Amino acid sequence: MQKYKKIKDHLSERKLELEGLLNHVETSARKKLDKDFEEQAIERQNEEVLTALDNSLNEELEQIDEALYRIGNGMYGNCANCGNEINERRLLAVPHTSLCIDCAA
């Protein structure tokens, strides 16, 4: 849909950005632990942060993929719950949303 071309382009750019970040997080998470016990404790804390970041990035990627799918199939811009049109300002603020403001609340 031409109507959502800018949003589609933005979502595609964000997807590439997230994939790069995800690759970096996964590479960092695979590093071997230091031999020093104190350093290992810090590294384990970092692993928890990386795991949470990995989960967050994957969740956003899934939402972006769903939004791109909806754009491609002409379903974008309508609430997945009630079917009403999603306000354009909401789509610009949260382009990967599938819910109108009322259903998201």
Please tell me the distance from the alpha carbon of residue 54 to that of residue 100, in angstroms, as a whole number: 27
Residue 43 domain flag: yes
Count of domains forming the chain: 1
Cα separation of 87 and 76, whole Å?
A: 12
Give the tens place of pLDDT for each residue, 58-99: 999 999 999 999 999 999 999 999 999 999 999 999 999 999
Evaluate whether residue 81 is within a structural domain.
no
**Residue 88 maps to a domain:** no
Instruction: Tell me how far apart the alpha carbons of residues 42 and 17 are, in angstroms, rounded to a whole number.
Output: 27
Write the pLDDT tens digit of every residue in 42-57: 656 667 777 888 889 9
User: What pTM value is reported for the model?
Assistant: 0.77
Phi/psi of residue 78, nearest 5 degrees: -110, 140
Residue 96 resides in a domain:
no
Is position 32 within any domain?
yes
Measured between alpha carbons, how far is residue 64 from residues 80, 88, 92 in Å?
14, 17, 13
d(CA 102, CA 105): 5
Residue 85 lies in a domain: no
Q: What is the pLDDT of residues 10-19, one digit of tens each?
A: 999 999 999 9
Torsion of CA 50, 55, 57, 61, to 10 degrees: 160
